[in-house]
Structure 1
Amino acid sequence: MGFCQLSTKNGVFFLTLGGHGGGENYRTEQFIAELEQKLKEVRGHARPSSKGLVTTFAAGEGGSFCDDVDNGGTSAAATAELAAYRTAEAVRALFDMPFPTAAAVAGDVRSSLALALVLAHDDMAVWKEATFEAPEVRLRRDDGGGGYLPPAPPPYVAALLRDKAPYPMMRSKLVLRSEAMDGSTFGGYWYMTDSRCDGREEVTGEAAGIVTTSIGKVRDGEAYVATRKSFFPESWKAVCEFLA
């Protein structure tokens, strides 16, 4: 079983991340390569009848989508730089999807890069007990005397936060204070649909409902992509500049 599982049902693509049932590391080359490949498959199989993409952040019972911030030294810094670049490519791929996208968050999201993947979707449904955290500020403040500081989040993460959740209080708590938020609180700051689910098992179905009711029967994929980029120009510009 791989890190990313792709299926389709009634015109909706379902991409499940975290197939191993434990905490998944977004900095592993295998994970990011699989994610990129699956997003290419979705884009390649898109048809006018396709209704949308639901990405399920599962992470298993008690699992978290996280970055490996414990490794020190040059290798860790190089790995972090590569992860930021490859995650930006995944964000760009999501912006180029010719139909609605929704993140179904049924597990913890405990890193800025994992958060970027969630925010790159048009909308989201979130389990109320999921935990959202961007721990870089706290970790940089207390590196244990080892001399290695995790890199600051790449600029496209901040752009996504400003575009998708434009509430200063949220950014202050989540980023500047490095506070953890549960799904109920995080969803309350969300700019789009209020879809906070009591049960983990409800999240994917809720997200599917979002994408299937977002637009009408007549679909113009290129127009949808152009509209998305015009609605969130700062994020699109930031990720393109980062990749350039």
Structure 2
Amino acid sequence: MPSWILRAWKKGIITTTYPAEAPTEEEIPPTGRPVRVEDAAAFASAATIAGPRCPTRAITSAGLDQGKCIHCMRCLPAGFRAGGTIESGNAPRDGLVWVAATPPVSTAVPAPLARIGRSIQVFLMDVGSCNACNLEVLALANPYYDAHRLGISFTNSPRHADVLVVVGVPTAPLIGPLRRTYEAMPAPKAVLAVGACAIDGGIFEGNPGLEVPVRTVVPVDLFVSGCPPPPLAVLDGILRLAGRDRGRSGGER
């Protein structure tokens, strides 16, 4: 018997149980989760210290923008804490902005793909990234995350895609291809902007040769914050678009 079969037999099933069960701390450590200050009274002083340290200006006296946060953790000595749920970092754009220590009012994320059934085809497009988000998204195809068990597959053609996953800051030469890719997708369709760069430019915001955020080129249904976001956060985003996330379905269906 080949040795790899024996190794697999001894090791057993290693695939994550998400979304049937919440992710463990091993799967997503605190430093991979959204940061926050839970005490509203302490936010002003914490923001005064952490604001100048923040490389993406995610922290201001007015609040915290999860969409800009790159999880550099420079704010932790000032009183911020990492440890929110990964789902709290996935929202429409205004749902990622905390006013002081108060989270945004929870708004239901539309599920534009709810009527297409369990099969979801994903097309990944890199419009100008460092490749970190690409690796996290593509990890969904490996045996640990195994997105296929949930009916999620990657396709090589936008004409076969239900979800357009965009990573990176749009560079000038890719504005046209991004629009044409979106237009080539059949309805119903959805767009997932993954990572701080796709949401608002990340650490590259304002640099020459980079254009506007993804949402001004194509309509974005959901934003997945992080730099890069962990694979389970991306998985939650895709499932939300189909109305199959933990919040709505109570786990895997």
TM bin (shorter chain): under 0.3
Quick check: which has more Rg, 1 or 2?
2
Comparing both structures, which one devotes a greater share of its residues to helix? Answer: 1
- The TM-score normalised by the length of structure 2 is 0.26
- The TM-score normalised by the length of structure 1 is 0.27
